[in-house]
Amino acid sequence: MQLSTASQIPVELRERFATAQRVLVLTGAGISAESGVPTFRGGGNSAVWKGLPFDVISSAQMVKRDLPAVWEWFDYRRDILKNLAPNAAHKAIVRWQRQSRFSEFTLVTQNVDGLHQYAGSTDVIEMHGSIWRARCISCHSTFEILRDDKRQEECASCGEHLRPDVVLFGEILPTGAFERAAEAAAKCELCIVIGTSALVYPAASLPEIAKANGAFLCEINPERTPLSDLCDVVLTGKAGELLDLIEH
């Protein structure tokens, strides 16, 4: 079932939301786009940073070749993000997480912008890390990067260089992140997928796992994706408008 107006929330979706005990929410770049976060993907071979394509400046190879250039790119991105705020969709998810009637509520994000945490969400499974953390290239200690403070250059534990604590092109996901998310997906009764392209694996497999185990699957996105045909309900529009309507 596909719906395209904010006022047409299916009764079954509202009922599922009202009665579900185990809920999984998966978010992608679309939810943050409503806060003004650029995707930073140039597409094809287009240069996005000083002549370097996105998948080059954001790659594991670039960390080894020119770590200062990688930091310059991520410092630039953080400088944009620090002036942006969570939107209505982020805030709705915080309310959902705080509802005691859910026995299990799992929030999984593919985003590195930290807006879920900024809005108040806790225990977020970050599939791709966070732009607001640095990680030692040697001992792997992690350090928070505060919004208004200058980031540290060296590891306080061993003195080695730090790198952004994000999953770059050519790297695997953080240990345990997908496993935790997949376990929650297999147990959830309701899975809501917000603002994802459904193209980036293994995150894109989480709704498939949920559906295969009997979950009711809802997609919220401005346009259809490869996931749409698998969903029980597809809501076409802005998450900031639609999430409030699901719970009322």
Residues known to be catalytic = 128
Q: Is 228 exposed, middle or buried (0-12, 13-18, 19+ CB in 10 A)?
A: middle
Nearest residue to 130 (alpha-carbon basis) of 157, 85, 163, 169:
163
Report CA dihedral (41, 110, 86, 223) to the nearest 10 degrees: 70
* DSSP three-state, residue 136: strand
Q: Which residues contact 87 (CB under 8 A, 6 or more apart)?
A: 31, 34, 35, 115, 240
Instruction: Count how many residues are written for the chain.
Output: 248
- Positive/negative CA dihedral, 202, 32, 190, 236: negative
Tokens 């107006």, residue located: 5
Report the distance separating Cα 232 and Cα 193, nearest Å. 12
Q: Which residues contact 176 (CB under 8 A, 6 or more apart)?
A: none
